[in-house]
Each structure stands twice: as C-alpha cells, then as structure tokens.
Structure 1
Amino acid sequence: MRIVKLHTTDSTNDYLKSLAKEEKLEEDTVVWALEQTNGRGQMGTKWSTSSGKNLTFSVFRKIQQITIDQQFYALMAASLAVKDVLKKLLIKNVSVKWPNDILSDKKKICGILIENVIKKGELNAMIIGVGLNVNQTIWEDVPKATSIKSQTGIHFDLQEILNLLLEQFHHYVKMLLDGNLDTIKKEYEAHLFRKDKPSTFLNTNKEQFVGIIQGVTDQGRLILLEEDNKLKEYDLKEIQLLF
C-alpha cells in the first residue's frame, strides 16, 4: 500500500484522479490530507473541517469484479467499514443515513463519496473518499455534527484511526470480490437510520410526506412504504429526510 500524505489539497478525490491520469497506480493508493480546502459530498455539497483535526482521505481501488449496476454495493461496504471502526472505538448509536452519511446520536460524524473510473463502458476502479470527524469539537453553522472526541472525550491519533479504517476496508473489499453482496446489503439495511419508523420526507416540489424506510434497491434507491400502503423507490435527488 502506498500512502501519499499532504498538508493541504483542494480535494483528495480530485488529487487521486489527477494522479491516476499521470501514472499507473498500485492497488490501494491512499491520499491523505491534513487540510482539504474544497472537499465534496454527494450532489456537490461541501465537506468542511478544521485543519489537522480530522481525517480526510481517498483510496484508489481496482474493483473490476462488480458491474456498473452493482456500484452501490461499494458505498454500502465502505459505510459498514466506517461503522465497524466507530463501534470498536465505543462510539454509541452508530447508524447509516441513506445513502452515505454515518451518524452517531443522530449527528453526522462521517461522510463518504465514491467516484467511478469507467473504461470501455465497464467499471474499472473506484475512488473512495472519506471525511471523518475525529478531534474537532466546535463547528460553525453545522448544528448536526459530532466527532469521535465529542463522543468519547478522548483525543485520537489520526494515523491510528486511518490504519483501522484501511484494515476494515480490506475486509469488506474481500467480501465484494468474493461475491458476498447479499450479506453486505442486509448489514447495510440493518443499520439504516430511521428504518421501520415513520419519518417525514421532503420531495422535489417542497412537499412533506410520511414514509417508512424498508431498505434499498441493488442500485441504491431508497424503498419507502407510504401512507397508501404502497412501496415506492426514490433516488437521492428526489427526496430529503427531515429529522
């Protein structure tokens, strides 16, 4: 494994993509930045953290054994890896807010962004970007944020947390490559935030409605049981969970 450690970069995902164009990357090349000035989340949202207090890194991984249609399984696997590490660190009430946020006590502690490398119409590799709040305890204009230190009162070494995460990523990558997709999906669904509970959502027309999260499709669409007792599927752009 190769780890490229940077003091500052705009985005570890973007840095890794540029690196992949310049050279043939070895498996599990990691770019880790102490400060990320233009970190991104799903749908172009920003990921902002204090310099040197949190983990912002990206991993390049060849993963040709799964298809483009199965790419959401990689996000599920990465979410479970983070969840496992947080539980090892005795973080309480860890859940996955669909599709890619990890929560502790209903507050965001981690975000994941996966970008695909497509070659000749097939999935060739993935860049897995992770932003994990570790030692930061104060946020401006982010009321629903928390960190490992906020939850435990303990100041952690970033390298140690990174090593734990990479080890757990390897565990789930092996599951992906071995074809244990059903196990990954069941585990992901079991830890979905607000699963099986009536919840309020906002649709694209800014209308609120009530639904009960049942799970996700293989492609990552959220399955809701709605008031008419019918199951409906939604993409990320179509609804927002209010909590």
Structure 2
Amino acid sequence: MNKANENHHVSLPAFDAQAISDAITNLAFFNECHVFMSVGSTNDTLKRMAASGAPNGTVLIADSQTKGRGRFGRQWVSPPGKGLWFSILIKPGEISTNRWHLLPMVLGEIIVLNLNKLTPVQFHVKWPNDILFNKQKVCGILCESVSSRHAFDYIVAGIGINVNNNRPEFPPALQGTATSVKLAIGHEMQRTDLLLDLMRDIGEKLHQIFVNQQVLSVNYWRDHCLDFNKNVQIRAGKKIHTGKFIDISDDGGLVLETENQQRMIIPYGEATLMKEKR
C-alpha cells in the first residue's frame, strides 16, 4: 500500500511507544521512529543519530527532555506526561535548493491549522517560529542544519508543544508568557491523537516536497501572523528596530516600515519580534 495515501485517523493508548512508532512509520515520508521516555534534547539526540547514518524521515519522540532548548539556547521546560517533544530528520539530497530555511514557518502553519480544529478561539503564528494562544506561547519550533558546499546535508526539525501543562507547572518566570493546549481549550487531550494528526499532515507536506518538488511558501503567514500591520519592536543582534510590520518576504524575512517611511527586511532567523509597540 502507498503510505502517502494512508490518511485515516488512528487513536492510540497513552504514550505506547511501540504503537506510536508503528503508526508513524505507516505514514507518508517517515521511515524510522524512535520513542524514548527521556532524553537530554530530541534535536541533539537525533543529530547524533544523523551523523551515524540515520535515514531521511527518521523521527525521535521523547516523553520528557532534561535539556530541551529553543532559539538562542533558551531553555524549553519539557516535563513527562505533559507535552509533545519530537524531532524529524530531513535529508534534502538533490532538492537541497528548495527554500528549506522556511521549514519552521511551514511546520508552524501545519501545527496551527491542527490546533484550530480544537477550539473556536484561534491559535496564531508569531514571527519567526512561535505559536501563541491569547498572546502566550504554546509551541516553539527549532530547525538546525548541517551543510557542506552550499547545500544542506541534513536538517533536524524540533517541535515542542505544551499540551496538558497546568499553569503552576510552568517555572514562575514563564507563568505569564507560556500556556498549553489544555489551558486554551479547557480540558486535557490525548497527546498521541494530536501527535498522529500532526505527523500525518507533516509527512504529507514533506512527501509533496520530495516527490512533487513542491516549493516551501510563507503565504499562510502573510494572512495569519499575529502582529501583521501592527507597530512592533524587533531585536536583531544588539540593535532594536521599531516600525510597522507590513509584510513577510518570500524568504521569510519580516518587512518593516520604519518611522521615517523606509522599508527594511529583517532576515528570518536573525532576529526576535519583541513586542507590539503602542
């Protein structure tokens, strides 16, 4: 049977490692799936596996991370039994010229579309790689790559989603800025059901990219980015830029109209959108 056509929904027992692995490797694109109760970082562990020859489409899932991290090395708290912490290995090979640097934004689109099926109150994408509910962070995406001769050898795409966390379970410093799917929709949800829905759609997207050479696009972000058409502050290195967020470039950069009516593009991956400026 062609795995690319297997899109039926499967409900699994709570974090049954073998059942999760079997279900994911039966989806489009994914060739191996490793499920651990705990790792330091899913990205770091999968990068070591990639260096040892793990195939394209390898997935690594952990029930908890002891050294989870986001952009710029920031800690991502990943307790057991609460969230989805997983990484995907992608080896672009002959299609390394695709706009792979946009992968975090494409993954963000897939995650938001799935989360928005759960509640009439919408989740939103926030440039460059976050997913928010009520302006609080519920998901982060971290893509790391190894390149040679101007091409990607491999990419490890890490995703962390707070699913069933309660407010007091976040560190005090994050209780005002972090949230979970449970807090957003008002009840706990089966993590494995959400995981399989996400992996089905992610696998189908990656299958289309590899088989049909579908080009990665940021069109969704232009219509759904939380701070679009608002006055914002952007930190890029040691500089802070202020202006109106008016567009996203084809390469994923934030197009800022400054106070003197000049346009500048803040490259994707090199800056952080700090806050809306009132």
Pick the TM interval, shorter chain: 0.7 to 0.9
Equivalent position of 1:15 in the other structure: 45
Identity rate, percent:
27
Are 2:211 and 1:181 aligned?
no
Q: 1:222 to 1:131 in 2, by over 3 A?
A: same
Moved more, 74-83 or 112-121: 112-121
Tell me whether 1:224 sits opposite 2:256 in the alignment.
yes
Partner of 2:160: 131
Deviation of the 1:180 alpha carbon: 4.2
1:113 deviation in Å?
0.4
Q: 2:87 — aligned with what? A: 58
For structure 2, which runs of at least 5 residues remain unmatched after alignment?
1-24, 26-31
Corresponding residue of 1:42: 71
Tell me, which stretches of 5 or more residues in structure 1 are unaligned? Answer: none
TM-score by length of structure 1 reads 0.88
CA deviation profile, 1:84-139 (whole Å, cap 9, x unmatched): 11112226222111111011111101000011132443123321100001000222
1:154 corresponds to which letter in structure 2?
H
**1:215–1:222 contact (8 Å) kept in structure 2:** yes
Q: Is the 8 A contact 2:246 2:256 kept in 1?
A: yes
Q: Counterpart of 1:190?
A: 223
Greater strand percent: which structure? 1
- Asked if the contact 2:59–2:87 (Cα under 8 Å) also holds between the matched residues in 1, the reply is yes
Aligned to 2:99: 70
Q: How does 1:81-100 map to 2 (within 5 A)?
A: 81-90=110-119, 92-100=121-129
Whole-Å Cα distance in 1 between the matches of residues 141 and 200 of structure 2?
A: 17
Question: What SS does the aligned partner of 2:49 have?
Answer: helix
Q: Normalising to structure 2: TM-score of the pair?
A: 0.78
Change (3 A) 1:133 1:119: same
Instruction: Provide the C-alpha distance between the structure 2 equivalents of 1:202 and 1:76, rounded to a whole number of angstroms.
Output: 19
Aligned CA distance change for structure 1 residues 202 and 174 (closer, same or farther; 3 Å): same
Distance 1:110 1:120, change over 3 A: same
1:144 to 165, 177, 194: 177
Q: What SS class does the counterpart of residue 176 from structure 1 fall into?
A: helix
Q: 1:6 aligns with which of 36, 52, 66?
A: 36
Aligned residues: 240
Provide the alpha-carbon RMSD of the alignment: 2.3
TM-aligned CA distance change 1:108 to 1:174, over 3 Å:
same
Q: Is the 8 A contact 2:98 2:215 kept in 1?
A: no
> Which letter maps to 2:45?
Y
- What's the CA shift for 1:76? 1.7
